[in-house]
Amino acid sequence: MRLDLRHLTLAIFFLPIITVIISFILSVNFDIISFCIPNIDGCTSISRIGRYPPVKFFFKPMMYLSGLLFFLYWRKNFLLLKNIEYSKKLMIFYYFGIVSTIFLFLYIFYLGESSHYRFFRKTGIYIYILFTLLAQLSLSIQYFKLKNFNKEIFNNNFVKLKMYFSFFLLAVGIICFPILIIKIENFPEIKNIISWNYFFLIQFYYLLSFFCLKKSGS
């Protein structure tokens, strides 16, 4: 269980990032976008690199696979913590994680469809991010509360770092959200810059999760 969960966190960290990077390279090669450094230049959005054929035939299946891994992540964490000390509060992060996964699937499904579905794409990605942050924070708190129950499972220093990082992610999200929903004429690229960098920050959470869990038998 522990080894599986540790490896799963690495898969969740790398797969979406690799998918986005490869999709960006493909989009440049197919002249869908011009080459740039999007997290600095803000020249394109993540949605744009994944919504047009033929790139979307790679991007969407890989993101569906990522969504499945997210579901397994929340599920395996629930089962792990339930075996240590079960409480109804454990279900909170699990429910948040399931909701976030559902809306990620909704976003992927409508990505690249007609403009009539733009509302569902926007709604899907924002609700996905919100419930992902809530799931990450509530799971980090549970790790922190239970870290001393079994020191063979948790690396306490990384558990603390993970919890602080979760609060940081939520705070940054609250600050940046108004910028993402208002129209900025003078600096429209700021939305893409925020989106790219925030995507990598959210993914970094899962790398911290890998270091929070010790190897089996250690």
Domain boundaries, the chain: 2-212
What average pLDDT does this structure show over 188-199?
A: 93
Q: According to the model, what pLDDT value does residue 146 have? A: 82
pLDDT of residue 150: 67
Instruction: Express each pLDDT in 15-53 by its tens digit.
Output: 999 999 999 999 999 999 999 999 999 999 999 999 999
Section 180-199 average pLDDT: 87
The confidence band for 183, taking pLDDT boundaries of 50, 70 and 90, is confident
Average pLDDT, the chain: 89
* Structure confidence at residue 203 (pLDDT): 97
Name the one residue in this structure whose structure tokens are 């038998």: 217
Segment among 60-64, 83-87, 163-167 with least mean pLDDT? 83-87
For residue 56, pLDDT beyond 80: yes
pLDDT of 218 over the 50 cut: no
Predicted local distance difference test score (pLDDT) of residue 41: 93
The whole model's pTM is what? Answer: 0.91
Instruction: Note whether 198 and 176 are within 8 A (CB).
Output: yes
- Structure tokens of 101? 């996964």
Asked if pLDDT for residue 2 goes beyond 60, the answer is no
Identify which has the larger pLDDT, 187 or 52.
Answer: 52
Cis preceding linkage at 61, omega within 30: no
pLDDT for the residue 23: 97
Buried b (16+ CB within 10 A) or exposed e, 131-153: bbbbbbbbbbbbbbbbbeeeeeb
